[in-house]
Structure 1
Amino acid sequence: MTNPQVALGPRTREQRLADTLAMLRTPARDAWVATASVAADGTAAPYLVPLSLAWIDDRVVLALDATSRTGRSLLASGTARLSLGGTRDVVMIDAVLERSVRVVEAPEELAEGYAAQADWDPRPGGEHDLYLVLRPRRVQAWREVDELAGRVLMRDGAWL
């Protein structure tokens, strides 16, 4: 089966940016979050997990247990790669950890913003739960091969 969007041809940069921001602002949006750490034997230990996200003030906000593998890796490395959408309408985000905030100490606007968009509220959770605020450094978006050439929408933290 072919993607019906292909018949329309490649999107303009402006349309890709608008579509990307619409995807990021979608309520109850989940993303695949990839992190990596160093295993006990010195080899790379990549990890991939689906998490709910919120797009707040041009930042990706995740909520998770700081003691989880993803939490530990992200706190240690300060970097993550996120993927939204399917293989025929994907947004890839390379991001850096800007700050972490314990859920129980989070400002109301962060907690309420996350709960409203992510469609769940981590505040009744455990003592190790954190909001991780990630600053996008690079954003790519494409649907098919005809959009690969212009897929970079953000470079070095600035929209192009």
Structure 2
Amino acid sequence: MAEQPRSPEARKADVLAKLHAPVADAWVATADGDEPYLVPLTAAWCEERVVLATDASSPTARNLTAHGRARVALGATRDVVLIDATLEKTIPVADAGEIGEAYAAQNDWDPRTAGDSYVFLLLRPERIQAWREVNELAGRTLMRNGTWLV
């Protein structure tokens, strides 16, 4: 039997806890035309943005640069967070400043040591949904058009 549905405020708090967690592992989906691409990456949450790090020549970086959209998933299938986001900017690791510091502080590696081919991808969330069971499907949208609803 499923637990009682969480309040919107509790769901938002749980989403932010996942985003702020040390080593926040995420699935990142992008596409190039009809070809979807899904990859596990470690994320950070900085200045209300999802920050990813990857090689600039990776399919993820290429797809985001070309099309500007991604879907990021956090959590298990019975406690999922889905984030639809747009690329705000790409920052070479050598120029990352505070973003690089924040990413390294939250995670177990520092992409700035991986070489100049790495970049940080700053994603601006447009829609965030969170639910655990079918009883939380209603009200699962917590952010719409980049604005928190709670």
TM-score (norm 2): 0.96
Q: Work out the CA distance in 2 between the residues paired with 1:75 and 1:52.
A: 19
Deviation of 1:64 after TM superposition, in Å, equals 0.5
Q: 2:138: which partner in 1?
A: 149
- Say whether 1:101 aligns with 2:96: no
Q: 1:118: which partner in 2?
A: 107
Pick one of 44, 57, 65 that aligns with 2:55.
Answer: 65
CA RMSD of the aligned region, Å? 0.9
Q: Work out the CA distance in 1 between the residues paired with 2:109 and 2:12.
A: 27
Deviation of 1:103 after TM superposition, in Å, equals 0.3
Q: Work out the CA distance in 2 between the residues paired with 1:23 and 1:127.
A: 29
Q: 1:28: which partner in 2?
A: 23
1:77-88, aligned counterparts within 5 Å? 77-88=67-78
- In the alignment, structure 2 segments of 5+ residues that lack a partner are none
3-state SS, counterpart of residue 123 of structure 1: helix
Q: Work out the CA distance in 2 between the residues paired with 1:124 and 1:67.
A: 17
TM-score (norm 1): 0.91
> Which structure: larger Rg?
1
Q: Work out the CA distance in 1 between the residues paired with 2:132 and 2:107.
A: 24
Deviation of 1:130 after TM superposition, in Å, equals 0.4
3-state SS, counterpart of residue 114 of structure 2: coil
- In the alignment, structure 1 segments of 5+ residues that lack a partner are 39-43
Q: Work out the CA distance in 2 between the residues paired with 1:31 and 1:58.
A: 16
Pick one of 8, 12, 22 that aligns with 1:13.
Answer: 8
Q: How many residues align?
A: 149
- Say whether 1:133 aligns with 2:128: no
Please identify runs of 4+ aligned residues in structure 1 that moved more than 2 A.
none
Deviation of 1:127 after TM superposition, in Å, equals 2.0
Deviation of 1:105 after TM superposition, in Å, equals 1.5
Q: 1:49: which partner in 2?
A: 39
Deviation of 1:158 after TM superposition, in Å, equals 0.2
